[in-house]
Amino acid sequence: MKITITQRSLFRRRVLWGVGLVVFVLAALNSCAIWTVLVTNPKLSPRTEARSDGKSFVKPGAGGVPIVHLHGTPYERGHAHGAMLKDEIRTLYENYLGIIVTYTYGRNDYLKVARAMLPHMPEAYVEEMRGIADGAGTGLSFDDVLVANVFLDVSQQVGCSTFTLDESRVSDPQDIMLGRNLDFTSLNIAGRYSHVFVHHGTGGHDVLAPSWPGLVGAVSGMNDKGLALAMMLVPSEELNSASMPYAMLYRQILERAATAEQARVTLLELGCRASVTNNLTIFDVNGEGFVAEIEPNRGGAAQVRFREECAGCAFSTNHFNEEHGELETDPYGNSYERWDLMKTKLAGEKPLTVDDAKALLKELAMDGKNLQSMIFLPRRREMLLAAIGPDAVERPYESYNLDRLLGHSP
């Protein structure tokens, strides 16, 4: 089943995001009770203490971002996820996700899409979601977890920027990188709740993924072989519900592929299940990578195009390359402007450093929406992450070492 987002509903969604949520925040400012809940209530911050559930555990992370290690069967990983993070999941659902769901299409429409997608989701991830619901206990149903895990596909509000640099574009060959900003409406809630998830023993490669409690997919991440990826949503009027949520698709790629070429093959094998239009950036330890432009099923197969913008680098925002500058209005915020900025900054001959990459990410960040900013360094087996807040890029980048977190070398 393919669901078409009509012009009227698309207009409604954009108006509600651009105006309705502003109205909500302004109303909150005039309500002491709501303002206390959203801004000043210390309970609306993730717990920082260490805790465990079976083989899985949460430990305090650098910069206030908790690190969640998940072990066991899919259901056991999900159950531990739900049990250890139940307060965070409920807070996000009640004070953030539930509000946005209501202000866009409404829970019934989200649930309709989620149930249509359910047969196309990997069984292991379905078991994880069942485990999350059971582990979290009273007040969170499996349907709630389903809605949370199709939220990104239906709302279509992720606005991001990514770039890759190979040996020819960096000052130190060890610093080949994938840089990434994740920009999204925060409501002063989502920005506080970033967690780093470490998926162990999934039957494939172990995966490191910055994400949020209650979600099982990956929109950014790196696996134990140093393969890194990040997605950028391209707004569309269609959603293919005969598919898995795109974050699940991308976690599958990280679990299955060790190199950019293997990721390309895996994407083509699984791409027929793409839910919405996306740009996907892939980069590996060999300095090989690409941007894939992915469209939902048309005629039984997804359209996937691979591209590179300049020698030694690839970059992408929230539109397809062939559409750059051709639409009357920017398809997402300042997507054209960010694309042009990267073209200017990356097309030169000067080798770039990690500090240069941080400075570029700061220029690219969308004001008030930058929830996570990260740099994956495959050869150093390291992720640098700035998180916490609606302007995360203003915070220090903290280092996450793959070998230390995953417990082994390739």
Q: Measuring CA to CA, which residue among 166, 206, 177, 218 is closest to residue 380? A: 177
Residue 139 pLDDT class (50, 70, 90 cuts): confident
> 61-81 pLDDT, tens per residue?
888 899 999 999 999 999 999
Residue 218 pLDDT class (50, 70, 90 cuts): very high
Other Cβ atoms within 10 Å of 350 Cβ, number: 9
> 246-275 pLDDT, tens per residue?
999 999 999 999 999 999 999 888 865 678
pLDDT higher than 90, residue 169: yes
Question: d(Cα 68, Cα 248) in Å, to the nearest integer?
Answer: 18
pLDDT higher than 90, residue 26: no
- Higher-confidence residue: 106 or 300? 106
Domains and CATH numbers, the chain: 2-154 (no CATH), 158-183+228-244+257-402 (3.60.60.10)
The whole-number pLDDT of residue 328 equals: 67
pLDDT higher than 90, residue 110: yes
- Work out the average pLDDT over 129-137: 97
Q: Output DSSP code: residue 189.
A: T
142 — alpha (psi -120 to 50), left (phi > 0) or beta? alpha
Question: d(Cα 14, Cα 259) in Å, to the nearest integer?
Answer: 37
Residue 43 pLDDT class (50, 70, 90 cuts): low
For 201, the 3-state DSSP assignment is: coil
pLDDT higher than 80, residue 383: yes
pLDDT higher than 70, residue 354: yes
Question: d(Cα 169, Cα 184) in Å, to the nearest integer?
Answer: 29
The total number of residues written for the chain in this structure: 410
C-alpha distance from residue 49 to each of 45, 59, 84, 375 (Å)? 12, 7, 11, 26
Q: Which of 170-179, 180-189, 204-213, 234-243 has the lowest mean pLDDT?
A: 234-243
Q: Which of 34-43, 83-92, 264-273 has the lowest mean pLDDT?
A: 34-43
Q: Measuring CA to CA, which residue among 315, 312, 313, 335 is closest to residue 325? A: 335
